[in-house]
Chains A and B, each alone.
Chain A
């Protein structure tokens, strides 16, 4: 009996989480994969025809939007690292007793709805608004210059909305560094730059990696920012998938596009892990 219980224990422990993932992740995913190979429409129904052409059609019509989404995702992720690293560094090493206050301040925008924050940007960035209006009236900007409805606005919005996802893991990685290790590097005649490059930076890279996964993936599939802040040439793939699914009820094409995006994101993430020399992605992220 005891042996049986021992053998069953791992199954029982995985059961709740496993069921959760099976019901809400694996089953829908397999179903969507199946839908992505169907043909039909909502009135006559969809039939499984193994129609791989859906993928080709998706790439043919929206391939450039897929590429643009990855590109915007990359830009926003890099911008996030550039903004988040110094902030996380400062909080971790110079924050002193107020560390948690500073972290709370970083998270504060999260208590305001995502859509509302993005809409607020519109007020600030509008052509004759508080930012551009005065600059323009003093002749500092060309007459046609505008920020709203441009790629710059979309990438900025993405960066802003996902910044905390980058700060937190980097902060956690930096926070965990034993300060004595840094002191040891000074004892070994490392300068401040060397100590940072050869001790602090390598030790914090897993945090950066976790941050990249947590920003790049949702950023590349985001659709709110491109919808609110972008113009006709800044449409991202998330917006297209949403329209194809909900507005057009073309379930097959939307599913095919979703899987294409997923495949590209996985390839991107694994290529990045490879380049970073991390053998096991999840291990690095979870460390």
Chain B
């Protein structure tokens, strides 16, 4: 095009504008300047405090519509969805179940924009781990406050641990779905000594054979165990000491990879020999070679919690499903499939009764489940477990700067 004579412009049309290019340039410059100095992105914090009046206001006039859209993590429902089917049979409420959540941070990134615009995210019930994103969802006012008059089974059957959670006092926004332990998994084909301590993850003799988790809270917690700090009560100084130890571990080449989810495959195949791991994954794997331990310095217990986004279209049906899941006979099949720590202790009796009635391999499986400390931790085991530290809005960026940069090589 360059150099070709331009057709003579119509004077009437171009009055006030010099040339096409000049016109576009001017429009662009004005729009650009206006946008650049734009007023910013408004904050939406300070919505974490809720009164009974807020709860009543949210639930007033809402009725069931006979349907629930549920977003959950992979592996958190029987393959044939039998629990959901049972729920639909008993209540007449249909359920659309999607394994839409792979990682808490990722999920938060997906739902943040519609929730900020007060739009539906397409789900009435979702499961999010207690942690950074959970706190943000609460702070930003994205969650519906729960009406506990609609959760009688939670009051009756939930464990004390499930009812007293520092990150959601009074259970205003959530009730636990399943909890799990973070510890160490190791492959006995390659590791010829018992693993008992977090320090062994830092042992140079396992150079290039150690897996760590990329989640900044999981990773940070284990760094703090390694320097003898309690993650729950840790200070910024503890974070820095832990960060240094973790960076050293990385820079000496001890860490093979920082995992989001894939560690169980890697430790089974022997790409890594020992790795940070979640209890349920190892239990489900049930390989004779791969063992799970809670190290003597401590492990963490986390909870994936059920909650309602405030824009849920069917909150009444969703809260009914929440409550239904707390009845031990309804929760037992789920626990048998998921193999994590259930918030309903009564499930242990249900499984024992089933084991007594079963025979052969079924009986062995149920017995193993009913007595497993990974599913029903004892009081002493609970004493070894810590929860994630609650991070305030001011602390969060400082925490992330220490720990999230580690898997990123910085």
Residues on A close to B: CB < 8 A? 3-4, 6-8, 10, 26-27, 30-31, 33-35, 37-38, 40-48, 61-62, 64-65, 126-129, 144, 146, 148-149, 231-235, 239-240, 243, 245-251
Contacts and interface: CB of A to CB of B under 8 A. Distances in A.
Contacts of A45: 40-45
Contacts, number: 132
Given A45-B43, A146-B208, A246-B106, A61 B38 contact: no
Contact of A7 (B9, B44, B408): B9
B105 interface: yes
A135 to B, nearest CB: 15
Contacts of A231: 255-257
A41 B397 contact: yes
B270 interface: yes
Given A30-B35, A30-B36, A149-B257, A46 B10 contact: no
A34 B271 contact: no
B45 A43 contact: yes
B140 A43 contact: yes
Interface string B242-261: 00000000100001111000
B256 A149 contact: yes
Given A43-B393, A232-B255, 13 more contacts: A7-B13, A40-B41, A41-B393, A41-B397, A43-B140, A44-B43, A45-B42, A127-B271, A232-B407, A235-B409, A243-B408, A246-B108, A251-B41
Nearest to B397: A41
B405 interface: yes
A280 to B, nearest CB: 8
B341 to A, nearest CB: 26
A26 B35 CA distance: 11
A231 B407 CA distance: 9
A140 B277 CA distance: 33
A10 B14 CA distance: 14
B383 interface: no
Contacts of B397: 41, 250
B35 to A, nearest CB: 5
Contacts of B42: 45
A128 B269 contact: yes
B7 A7 contact: yes
A149 B212 CA distance: 13
B132 to A, nearest CB: 9
A243 B404 contact: yes
Contacts of B407: 232, 235
B136 interface: yes
A284 to B, nearest CB: 14
Contact of B38 (A3, A34, A43, A44): A34
Contact of A40 (B40, B269, B270, B404): B40
Contacts of A245: 109
B39 interface: yes
B40 A48 contact: yes
B364 to A, nearest CB: 30
A70 to B, nearest CB: 16
A107 to B, nearest CB: 29
13 contacts: A4-B10, A7-B10, A27-B35, A30-B32, A31-B35, A31-B38, A44-B45, A46-B40, A61-B405, A231-B255, A246-B106, A248-B105, A248-B404
Contacts of A42: 43, 112, 136, 140
A43 B269 contact: no
Contacts of A235: 407-409
B31 interface: yes
B400 interface: yes
A239 B43 contact: no
B269 A47 contact: no
Nearest to B48: A43
B404 A129 contact: no
B139 interface: yes
Contacts of B109: 245-247, 249
> Can you list the 6 inter-chain pairs with the closest CB atoms, starting with the nearest?
A45-B43, A246-B109, A43-B45, A247-B105, A44-B43, A46-B41
Interface in B1-49: 7, 9-10, 12-13, 20, 28, 31-32, 35-46
Centre residue among B32, B106, B266, B408 by max chain A CB count within 10 A: B408
A233 B409 contact: yes
B253 to A, nearest CB: 8
